Chain A
């Protein structure tokens, strides 16, 4: 279902976005304003479901609108020109994801090829990244070619096709950070940094981990500062660079952390009268064979470090791509940037009020009726 008029416009824009290059946020905002104003004009001052639908139809097919904006590119191999931009985005994402995992595995001392049973294979990180690029290109080409062959169109212009749903994978990655997400980074960063500096918490950890706890607390404070900058100024190159540098700092820290043992030594437990400290080693927990408790904790520690490395590598790669994209647009270091789509934390409490469900579709306040069952032929 398309939902409110605004929602319909957003869905249409998501379809246009699929075919646009990743640096097209300005174009989408411009089109959104156009559609809202056109819908308001057609609805004589009020945007209605019918006027929004008409405005969308007047603007034209999303693929054509996007191609007009981005310029019709050239066919690449088996890919038609209009699918080149989505394919580039998918390949970038797959490569970034692959690179993040490969580097994360490397840092925790794990070879992905060893895991799948291939040993003594002369692969190194650059070769594997090249391999990843090649495989990603092949995957993207096969999937796009396959889906476009079975593509049929019968849905309203605000609804994505099956192919577009696939092509739109990863679009959110390139959207600017939402303002609420940035606020959450500030709050959580400050909170956890302060928790790590509290003495009742610090006594739980091994002595040789305390120095690293200080470094982690500092990084969390800087993370909160980064969140604050995003909250104030949205996405700009300075904020993205800070995000990339901070991600790099986390990865470097992980190179040290992976060589450490499980750091938590004690936990608090309530003995019925008061909170007392209990050493983990003294806990009567039986670990199923073949592993002992120390091995399980070492594995958990390695998994934790791996996750931190992968998420931060991802952050570095995406931020770097965005900085490159903004530099191409001749943007400098600092400007009042944008935030991503507002995801209000309490949005689930809001209800669409301008539509009413009927048995076979939805009736809108302007009399427009949208059927649930649209012939797909």
Chain B
């Protein structure tokens, strides 16, 4: 029994990581669809509104960098406070389109999974 529980916990850990990996990009793009924001703002918003993701602070910046490289985001430096220059990110047209498609895919996925799980429950 103990061994089964350990296996299940290990599996959930692996599965959560995989889910979070994909969901984090969607969450960041969704946040930036609402408003432009800089790294720390995004980190804080994710912590408040997407606590499930439980992203380590250092992992958000590489994600932003990758999304920018893929042209889904663009950035601009703001030097209003010279001690704390801020790199503001915003969605590009490609990013908006990607967000729309990601949202649709996510909806289909979650609907189908819910139906599948409801079916499993009823049996």
Chain A residues in contact with chain B, CB under 8 A?
26-27, 29-34, 36-38, 58-60, 64-65, 68-69, 71
In the complex, 30 of the A-B residue pairs with CB atoms within 8 angstroms, ordered by the A residue number, are A27-B61, A27-B65, A29-B85, A29-B87, A30-B39, A30-B61, A30-B87, A31-B61, A32-B84, A33-B84, A33-B85, A33-B87, A34-B40, A34-B57, A34-B61, A37-B40, A37-B84, A38-B40, A38-B57, A58-B57, A59-B57, A59-B58, A60-B56, A60-B57, A60-B58, A68-B58, A68-B62, A69-B62, A69-B65, A71-B62
Q: A33 contacts B40, CB within 8 Å?
A: yes
CB neighbours (8 Å) of A31 from chain B are: 61
- Nearest Cβ distance between residue B20 and chain A, in whole angstroms? 14
Q: A36 contacts B84, CB within 8 Å?
A: yes
Q: A34 contacts B87, CB within 8 Å?
A: no
B122 contacts the other chain (CB 8 A): no
Q: With CB as the reference atom, state the residue of chain B lying closest to A34.
A: B40
CB neighbours (8 Å) of B26 from chain A are: none
Most buried by A among B39, B62, B86: B62
- In Å, the complex CA distance between A321 and B53 comes to 40
- In Å, the complex CA distance between A71 and B56 comes to 16
- In Å, the complex CA distance between A37 and B62 comes to 18
Q: Apart from A30-B39, A33-B39, what 6 extra A-B contacts exist at CB < 8 Å?
A: A31-B61, A34-B43, A36-B83, A58-B57, A65-B58, A69-B65
- Nearest Cβ distance between residue A30 and chain B, in whole angstroms? 5
CB neighbours (8 Å) of B84 from chain A are: 32-33, 36-37
B4 contacts the other chain (CB 8 A): no
Given known A69-B62, A69-B65, contact A33–B57 (CB-CB < 8 A): no
B123 contacts the other chain (CB 8 A): no
B51 contacts the other chain (CB 8 A): no
- In Å, the complex CA distance between A69 and B65 comes to 8
Q: With CB as the reference atom, state the residue of chain A lying closest to B59.
A: A68
- Nearest Cβ distance between residue B58 and chain A, in whole angstroms? 4
CB neighbours (8 Å) of A27 from chain B are: 61, 65
